[in-house]
Amino acid sequence: MKDYDVLVIGGGPIGLAAAAELANSNQQVLLIEQFDFINQKGSSAGSSRQFRVQYAQKYMSELALESIPFWEKLQKTTEDVLIDQVGSLWFGDPALSSQEGGIEAAMEVMEELHIPYQPLQGKEIESLFPFTNIPEDYSGFFQKDGGIIDFKATQKALLAICQSAVNVDLLAQTPVTNIQSLENGAIVVTANRQEYYTSKLVICPGAYVNDILKHFGLSINIDIWEMSSAYYRKTEDIKLPTWFVFQKPQDTSLFYGFPEVDWAHPGYIRVAPDIPDRIIQDPSQRSPYPSKKSLGFNETWVKDHMVGLDPSSEFTATCLITLSNNSKELLLDFLPDSVNNSKNIILYTGGWAAKFVPLLGKILSDLVIKGTTPYNISNFKIDYKNC
């Protein structure tokens, strides 16, 4: 039986990014994924995500800026454009704050970090972008470094690095059935009736986190947002950046959207409610259908406020987003001291993390190999529970 320097559980984008970084550091790596690589069963479902550098928290903006060189490095490995830098538009009620931050707080952070942005008032937003009936008291900004991430191409690029690395073994369709972390420092992972030995473990299971933590007698509280989105047919030649609108009431009126892209439904534009269809605690509770209610809010927003789109939802889809239930932006930590070898076992599980994927790979690789990282992860500590 082969021994590995590092075993990575979870082959979503962050597990792939961690394995790619570990390969680069000459580690012998085994990456185990319970489904196929690049699947639609978790947080990475769908084809696009937003990249942005503005945040209401300075440490999050700093992390987003720090991720840029890692995106540039990954970009060099593929001909697909990973981030189309169309800019990021935030507008709406300026004082409102949501999971994604808030306009005023983000502007303060951008000032502090000297991130350039263009402040905008309601009517200016309508004159520059294809929106209509925007209330006069709405305001916002345009930040040029934001963009749209081709999320499938990102995962393909990371998978290609792992597939071509001689020191990475990849196992798909292989659920982990047991993990033993022994007093002598060995970690034994059982999957598909085989035992794999390692001394270091990176765990990136997304929504399936508690299926893995149970092997250590642990669990964590998470909220898994089931979310719907849809595409709308273009009826005019409109140009959009990525955008987010902050409005009240927040449980029916937060929306975000994208420009047209050639990698997903050309001729259509994706718009989505930033509202959970349902909040569940385990992926097995997932519904296979997009919520008619959420898509109804979405269609009304498109009909009333967007120019050049037919407001009938098409190509509808769902995804699961794993979030902390105590407002932490990301969940990233070593296992607690009660577990043998806890300082050799690092967990990443949740947050709106697509924009940080290649940087998170580096952070996880640093933490599991060296025990430290120069990046500020102090805000992402996990509250574990014994079970």
Binding stretches for ligand BEZ (CB under 6 A): 50, 52, 100, 244, 256, 274, 352
Residue nearest to ligand BEZ (CB): 352
CB-nearer residue toward ligand BEZ: 355 or 362: 355
Q: Which entry of 49, 52, 270, 286 is annotated as an active-site residue?
A: 52
Rounded to the nearest whole angstrom, what is the least distance from the CB of residue 351 to ligand BEZ in the complex?
9
> Are the C-beta atoms of residues 30 and 371 closer than 8 Å to each other?
no
- 162 part of the active site: no
> Are the C-beta atoms of residues 224 and 320 closer than 8 Å to each other?
yes
Rounded to the nearest whole angstrom, what is the least distance from the CB of residue 275 to ligand BEZ in the complex?
10
Percentages of the chain per state (helix, strand, coil), in multiples of 5: 30, 35, 40
Rounded to the nearest whole angstrom, what is the least distance from the CB of residue 98 to ligand BEZ in the complex?
9
CB-nearer residue toward ligand BEZ: 50 or 139: 50
Rounded to the nearest whole angstrom, what is the least distance from the CB of residue 169 to ligand BEZ in the complex?
33
CB-nearer residue toward ligand BEZ: 100 or 126: 100
Q: Which entry of 274, 277, 333, 366 is annotated as an active-site residue?
A: 274
CB-nearer residue toward ligand BEZ: 33 or 84: 84
- 49 part of the active site: no
Rounded to the nearest whole angstrom, what is the least distance from the CB of residue 318 to ligand BEZ in the complex?
14
Burial of 265 (0-12, 13-18, 19+ CB in 10 A): middle
Q: Angle of helix 58-75 relative to helix 103-112, nearest 10 degrees?
A: 70
Burial of 212 (0-12, 13-18, 19+ CB in 10 A): buried
Q: Which entry of 200, 208, 319, 384 is annotated as an active-site residue?
A: 319
CB-nearer residue toward ligand BEZ: 52 or 286: 52
> Are the C-beta atoms of residues 8 and 348 closer than 8 Å to each other?
no
- 355 part of the active site: yes
Q: Which of 295, 149, 147, 311 is nearest to 234 (CA)?
A: 311
- 90 part of the active site: no
**Dist CA 95 CA 93 (whole Å):** 6
- 319 part of the active site: yes
**Dist CA 317 CA 229 (whole Å):** 5
Q: Which sequence positions are flagged as catalytic?
A: 52, 100, 256, 274, 319, 352, 355
